[in-house]
Structure 1
Amino acid sequence: MDRIDTMRAFVTVVNEGTFTRAAERLDTSPQLVSKYVAQLETHLGVRLLNRTTRRLHLTEAGTRYHQRAQQILADIDDMEDQLGDLQTQARGTLRISAPVSFAIRHMAPLLSQFQQAHPAVGIDLQLNDRKVDIVEEGFDIALRIGHLKSSSLIARRIAPIRLVLCASPEYLARHGTPRHPDDLRDHRYLRYSYMDPEASPALYRGFQGGQRSGRDELVSNNGDVLVAAAEAGAGIALQPTFISGAAIRAGQLQVLLPDYEPEPMSLYAVYAHRQLLASKVRYFIDFMDGFFGDPPYWDDF
């Protein structure tokens, strides 16, 4: 029994969710993957997975083993990446988690150019606006937008993220242009459901000051929907310029109350702290640094 092969099979099954997908990832058969996991459980003398017809469930021992085994395999990959040609050439699959709207609008050119420079690196990009656990879920890097809080993870600031209040010229022609946050009480708020009120307290209080009680708001957890609604004249949106910038530049949206603009956030590349960082991760983070410009190109309006 090769302990590294069995360990890698188990970790891949957990990360992929099924033996079939794990076999595809490892370029082998589901039967061999199942055999490896069974050999590992026999060797350890504990059950790591409970299998049902619909899904796999980690046991308590399996959860602990997965965490340690994933780190051990990463350390082995890191060690090999430091030897010979692997020190200077990134290779392997890079698993990235990124926010939905940002990735759709801005990640494709970055990934394309990175793979042209590093053709031995494959990309597995997963889009999700929730805060993923990069260690538990097997990601190499997570891109996050916000104000960085203390964490056991390492973060590199990639670009500033500017929030602007905006509405269409047609909407403003019908309902008037607010000159002060207090004026917002008379307007429809296209509200992003994940927005922290503390990110823009003056604007938030302005919208809350009205008598509407949110009954005619449009609320969504996707900024693209809200920007499109603002372009259509549905109301006023507070959105990052990486979504709204193109419409502002084209004259489809107009920036409001610039003197009350919230403090900028940042785009960060977040990764687990490791003594030896895999070449594929190190090269990608360095490649991202400065790629979008400072100020970023989406603020050119």
Structure 2
Amino acid sequence: MDRIETMRAFVTVVNEGSFTLAADRLDLSPQLVSKYVSQLEQHLGTRLLNRTTRRLHLTEAGTRYHLRAQQVLNDIEELESQVGDLHTEARGLLRISAPVSFAIRHMAPMLSEFHKAHPAVSIDLQLNDRKVDILEEGFDIALRIGHLKSSSLVARKIAPVRLIMCASPDYLHERGTPQKPEDLKNHDYLRYSYMDPDAIPEVHKWLMQDGKSSAGGMISNNGDVLVEAAIAGAGITLQPSFISGSAIRDGHLKIILPDYEPEPMGLYAVYAHRQLLASKVRSFVDFMDGYFGNPPYWDKFEL
């Protein structure tokens, strides 16, 4: 008995919902697919499927086995794909979606070096802070920032992303430096409109009353605008260090309430499929991994 073939037959039957459809997918006869599943059940000593004339029903053991068997088959395909990629040059058009401020500030040198290492890959980089649909919009990779929720997409963490609350020295001299979160209620808040509510720290709530800042401020869908407004003395902002770090390092912004800094988010490379991953996608994700340093170079400033 070929355990991989019987496992593949069982998983395909479950995924397709019938022996006939599974046989078409595997280019085998329905009788042989049924035989493979029976052999697997005999080998395991337990029933995986309850068969009726109309439907197939997974047993409890079948449900557990299907989940693990699917992962095993995915791992085998990925391993074979990686070995095949050793003899396949990365090439073709690589479509990437990335956040606006991060891409403008940090991606150009990396993309240039990647192209030198993989000259057969051309890049189409689209900047957008909204969450794109990779499959519907035809992207190979999307860079996303946040606390990712479980999904069918594959994600690799590229770097941590700190959220830092800061304001200009002149603003703090005029309005006072908050010593505790409650002090924020009387300050102007420069708010990023795409901020994920699940990622908003407790101190952010003190800045907001009924969906807007209690004292004043502004809202924008671009973090660079908010950081520049903070440098100009317009108020307090909560922004990733990859945007605010250079201004903090140069003394144009000052960190406030460092003891209340929220848990870091992550910069992730997200793509649609693990198995049979194109060489151009795997090459780019591997190239990004570790490129920005640990900690990232934008976090190298004095508090």
Q: Does 1:291 align with 2:269?
A: no
| Structure 2 counterparts to residues 275-290 of structure 1, below 5 A | 275-290=275-290
**CA separation of 1:85 and 1:163: change in aligned 2, threshold 3 A:** closer
TM-score by length of structure 2 reads 0.69
Q: Distance in 2 between matches of 1:206 and 1:220?
A: 19
Confirm or deny: 8 A CA contact 1:197 1:204 kept in the other structure. Answer: no
Q: Distance in 2 between matches of 1:284 and 1:190?
A: 35
Letter in 1 for 2:269: A
Shift of 1:184: 0.3
Aligned length: 221
SS at structure 2 position matched to 1:126: strand
Q: Distance in 2 between matches of 1:193 and 1:102?
A: 16
Confirm or deny: 8 A CA contact 1:182 1:209 kept in the other structure. Answer: no
Confirm or deny: 8 A CA contact 1:87 1:279 kept in the other structure. Answer: no
Q: Which runs of 4+ in 1 moved over 6 A?
A: 81-86
Give the number of the structure whose alpha-carbon radius of gyration is greater: 2
CA RMSD across the alignment: 2.2
Confirm or deny: 8 A CA contact 1:97 1:143 kept in the other structure. Answer: yes
SS at structure 2 position matched to 1:194: coil
SS at structure 2 position matched to 1:148: coil
> Equivalent pairs: percent with the same residue?
72
Shift of 1:252: 0.3
Q: Distance in 2 between matches of 1:209 and 1:93?
A: 47
Letter in 1 for 2:232: A
| Structure 2 counterparts to residues 95-244 of structure 1, below 5 A | 95-208=95-208, 214=214, 216-244=216-244
Q: Distance in 2 between matches of 1:247 and 1:83?
A: 45
SS at structure 1 position matched to 2:89: coil
Confirm or deny: 8 A CA contact 2:159 2:268 kept in the other structure. Answer: yes
Confirm or deny: 8 A CA contact 1:160 1:296 kept in the other structure. Answer: yes
Confirm or deny: 8 A CA contact 2:168 2:253 kept in the other structure. Answer: yes
Q: Distance in 2 between matches of 1:262 and 1:158?
A: 19
Paired residue for 1:248?
A: 248
Residues 6-51 of structure 1, C-alpha deviations (whole Å, 9 max, x = no match): xxxxxxxxxxxxxxxxxxxxxxxxxxxxxxxxxxxxxxxxxxxxxx
Confirm or deny: 8 A CA contact 2:147 2:199 kept in the other structure. Answer: no
Q: Distance in 1 between matches of 2:215 and 2:259?
A: 28
Letter in 2 for 1:273: H
| Structure 2 unaligned spans of 5+ | 1-77
| Structure 2 counterparts to residues 8-19 of structure 1, below 5 A | none
Residues 104-142 of structure 1, C-alpha deviations (whole Å, 9 max, x = no match): 010101100000111111000000111111111111100
Confirm or deny: 8 A CA contact 2:163 2:262 kept in the other structure. Answer: yes
Confirm or deny: 8 A CA contact 1:246 1:298 kept in the other structure. Answer: yes
Q: Distance in 2 between matches of 1:186 and 1:83?
A: 60
Confirm or deny: 8 A CA contact 1:191 1:237 kept in the other structure. Answer: yes
Q: Distance in 1 between matches of 2:104 and 2:247?
A: 16
Q: Distance in 2 between matches of 1:253 and 1:106?
A: 20
**CA separation of 1:152 and 1:178: change in aligned 2, threshold 3 A:** same
Q: Distance in 1 between matches of 2:231 and 2:122?
A: 37
Q: Distance in 1 between matches of 2:245 and 2:213?
A: 29
Q: Distance in 2 between matches of 1:84 and 1:185?
A: 59
Q: Distance in 2 between matches of 1:84 and 1:296?
A: 33
**CA separation of 1:85 and 1:274: change in aligned 2, threshold 3 A:** closer
Q: Distance in 1 between matches of 2:287 and 2:213?
A: 46
Shift of 1:200: 3.4
| Structure 1 unaligned spans of 5+ | 1-77
**CA separation of 1:197 and 1:178: change in aligned 2, threshold 3 A:** farther
SS at structure 2 position matched to 1:135: helix
Shift of 1:216: 2.4
Q: Distance in 1 between matches of 2:234 and 2:270?
A: 36
Paired residue for 1:259?
A: 259
Residues 211-238 of structure 1, C-alpha deviations (whole Å, 9 max, x = no match): x865722100110000000000000000
**CA separation of 1:246 and 1:139: change in aligned 2, threshold 3 A:** same
Q: Distance in 1 between matches of 2:84 and 2:257?
A: 57
Shift of 1:186: 1.2
Shift of 1:290: 0.2
Q: Distance in 2 between matches of 1:267 and 1:87?
A: 30
Shift of 1:83: 10
